[in-house]
Chain A
Amino acid sequence: MSMEERIDFYPTHETGGVRFRRGRPLPFGATIVPNGVNFSIFSSAADSCTLVLFRKREPKPFIEIKFPPEFRIGDVYSMIVFDLDYEDLEYGYRFSGPWQPEWGHRFDESKIVGDPYAKVLGGRDVWRAQPDWLDPYQHRARLSFDDFDWEDDKPLEIPTKDLVIYEAHVRGFTAHTSSKVSAPGTFGGLREKIPYLRSLGINCLELLPIYEFDEWENNRQHPETGELLLNYWGYSTVGFFAPKAGYAATGKLGMQVDELKNLIKELHRAGIEIMLDVVFNHTAEGDQRGPYISYRGIDNRTYYILTPEGYYYNFSGCGNTLNCNHPVVRNMVLDCLRYWASEYHIDGFRFDLASILGRDQNGAPLSNPPLLESLAYDPVLSKCKLIAEAWDAGGLYQVGSFPAYGRWAEWNGKYRDAARRFIKSEPGMTGEIATRIQGSPDLYWYRGPTASLNFITCHDGFTLRDLVSYDYKHNEANGEYNRDGNDDNHSWNCGWEGETNDPGVNALRIRQMKNAATLLFTSRGVPMLLMGDEIGRTQKGNNNSYCHDNELSWMDWGAVEKESELLRFFSRLIAFRHAHPALRGDRFFAHRDYVGSGKPDISFHGTRAWQPDWGGRCLAFMLCGQHASPKDSDMYVAMNAYWDGLPFEIPWPSEGKRWRVAINTSMQQPQDIFEGESGPIIESSELIVGGRSIMVLIA
């Protein structure tokens, strides 16, 4: 008997010329089946549910079909509708149920709500195109083919210890006219810049949120400049399963799924993993004043953490908190990540405000959060990198204590702060920086250094250039009188606030950027670089550019030429890290010799060899290469955060070897960084390390 002869592939009901039958409760969402589409959706508290079908972009539905009582199994409504034009279909639901906010119910049958499992969402098809505000259904669920031809592609599974992550914004990366790509600001545009990422040497691209969001959410005009301010970063999810249509050049044709998959396939071909920044802590529905997009109108009490009075807890700082440890929501998150890992070949996920994922249904932190445990042990996700932003806006700070199950890594905020303070010459930082360089064993002693995602800058805060150009944030362009954004930046302007023509200040800034980069790429753990830091991108002192879809946030590709010295330094530095396994170990240093090389795996020094000064501004460390690989070099890194040059006594190299300069941040190109063993040999036992400079020697 062929599949086509199955009796359940034929309709049993008809209304208004549309034929349908009882569906299957699982999987949730809209699934293309022989002859039709299976629609399935959960609601635990609704009285009834109606499927609403539209032709693409039409304001009025062509049919509404109320689920007959026998189509509900448990809390799941399901139905197969036949003979639909998959490409021309948009679907939503109406739910009838109680309006009892004090019990958590906010049903409103007049609203059409979207499917939480929608794989494609229409309504914001072209970035920044004015939406039809009168449309009663703003974010319209559509069907996805999910038949992309991946050929032999699969997630790359690069060992975590070898990753070099580049954090970028899809639009900001190529929106600037200087990018000269065919479709600026899109997945397609990004694809054209893969050669740049390859030559820089990164092997993992982390994208700011690409799940469908509404760039128009909370849009406003700057009171003085009139600049239109948008939700540019996108940390406000409309649909967790749908890629941002406005990020696709082909979004207007509904082909964002293919365009994103093609980008991923090409990244993988270039040896670059892709990691998504995912936001499961809240949704775009805001608090009780917010819109009905989906979850609130389907099962408010299940999807959100509510106060005893039925209001929204706001641990996210964005109006509501997703009820991640409710079993139904937990399964949705799991289904979602499995979908992205299997259907889009995503290599890893970075979880925004991940501590929320460890709160219970009343908001209390759990010691063994079911969601985090499920993600850690999931069979489909087992090779995906899982990285937590281990804090939330409700006061939970879990850097070093995030429930990890041997799987989770963390954005190490302590690394960032210590690195910044050391580089700006704060005294007494040598002890802490020694710990951070080793992968923060104080925080991750039972997890290993790959649990430490090291970074000095990220999208949230100053860029690297601004970190060395501003003492204070300058967020006036955000229209909130400079009240928003972090005040605790540990930044130093090098003697002048903002841009200057002073050659001395500018030279020092270049040096400080090189120092930061050298520290980051010689530290154990996983380094992450912010988009544009390699070419000195500035946001003019703005440390919270979430609302700027303009040149303040965009990467100016003209700087690839103008800042070629910095770019050369970064790409050689990344190559240096890739070349030396001693920099990338996945175990903590033992501080002893366990291979018989005559040297400990790591040793610390000061201006005198073997005598570190715990409390000053100078620190040197030596890595014994043999402890990582029989062929790896020894390495000596002398960091002088004092403002004058200082002599450092160098430990003796191993028998038959001589120290050579690999990096010297006090020099300009080409003497700042050398390829392989082309640097000058050090003849004396003493090294003068310039003020606020780092030297790296290899032997």
Chain B
Amino acid sequence: MTFESSEENGIGTVRLAGSLDGKTSPEVREQMRPLLATYSKIILDLSKVDYLSSAGLRLLLLLYREFSAKKGKLALVGVSEDIRTVMSHTGFLDFFTLAGTQAEAVEAVS
């Protein structure tokens, strides 16, 4: 799992790559923590995430909840068709804002 973050116009973008599962989730959570404190608008780019496990989905929901509690806005971008289907079957999809492109994601959090 690799983790990159950048900022543009006050919007933080986090790009994850690899598998988001029980092994990598704790580390991602640690790395996300300062960003959640810094920004009020975050875009999570999952286009390089090839596998999202149950623990990975739970991490996303946890981040989303923590962030929403602070009135922050979070959008997911680059969610593959496979992952979107899994999220739909398991009921996670409805909780998130999904965007097709980075531009749409910027609009969604703005």
Contact = CB atoms under 8 A, between A and B. Distances in A.
B34 interface: no
A259 B22 contact: no
A261 B91 contact: yes
Interface string B67-100: 0000000000000000001101111100100000
A52 interface: no
Contacts of A148: 91
Given A86-B22, A88-B23, A147-B58, A248 B53 contact: no
B59 to A, nearest CB: 12
A253 B85 CA distance: 12
A85 B22 contact: yes
Interface of B: 21-23, 53-55, 57-58, 61, 85-86, 88-92, 95
Contacts of A253: 53-54, 86
Given A86-B22, A88-B23, A149-B95, A255 B89 contact: yes
Interface in A188-205: 188, 191
Contacts of A147: 58
A87 B55 CA distance: 7
A187 B88 CA distance: 12
Interface in A132-190: 145, 147-149, 182-183, 186-188
Contacts of A86: 22, 55
A186 B22 CA distance: 25
B85 A87 contact: no
A188 B93 CA distance: 13
Contact of A188 (B21, B23, B53, B89): B89
Contacts of B23: 85, 88
Contact of B54 (A187, A249, A258): A258
B91 A258 contact: yes
Contacts of A450: none
A262 B88 CA distance: 9
A253 B22 CA distance: 13
Contacts of A254: 53-54
B19 to A, nearest CB: 11
B85 A255 contact: no
Given A88-B22, A148-B91, A149-B95, A255 B86 contact: yes
A250 B90 contact: yes
A149 B53 CA distance: 17
A285 B54 CA distance: 31
A249 B95 CA distance: 20
A265 interface: yes
Contacts of B91: 148-149, 258-259, 261-262, 265-266
9 contacts: A249-B85, A250-B86, A254-B53, A258-B57, A258-B90, A258-B91, A261-B91, A262-B89, A262-B90
Nearest to A262: B91
B84 to A, nearest CB: 11
Given A145-B55, A253-B86, A258-B89, 4 more contacts: A182-B85, A188-B89, A258-B90, A262-B91
B100 to A, nearest CB: 19
Nearest to B85: A182
Given A87-B22, A182-B85, A259 B58 contact: no
A122 B106 CA distance: 41
A664 to B, nearest CB: 44
A255 B90 contact: yes
B74 to A, nearest CB: 16
A149 B61 contact: yes
The 4 closest A-B CB pairs, nearest first, are A262-B91, A87-B22, A258-B90, A188-B89
B61 to A, nearest CB: 7
A259 B90 contact: yes
Nearest to A87: B22
Contacts of A186: 89
A489 to B, nearest CB: 39
Most chain B Cβ neighbours within 10 Å, of A148, A187, A250, A265? A250
Interface string A608-633: 00000000000000000000000000
A551 to B, nearest CB: 25
B54 A248 contact: no
Contacts of A261: 91
Nearest to B25: A87
A364 to B, nearest CB: 46
Given A85-B22, A87-B21, A188 B88 contact: yes
A183 B89 contact: yes
Contact of A249 (B55, B58, B89, B92): B89
Contacts of B58: 145, 147
A261 B85 CA distance: 16
Given A85-B22, A86-B22, A88-B23, A250 B55 contact: no
Most chain A Cβ neighbours within 10 Å, of B55, B57, B90, B91? B90
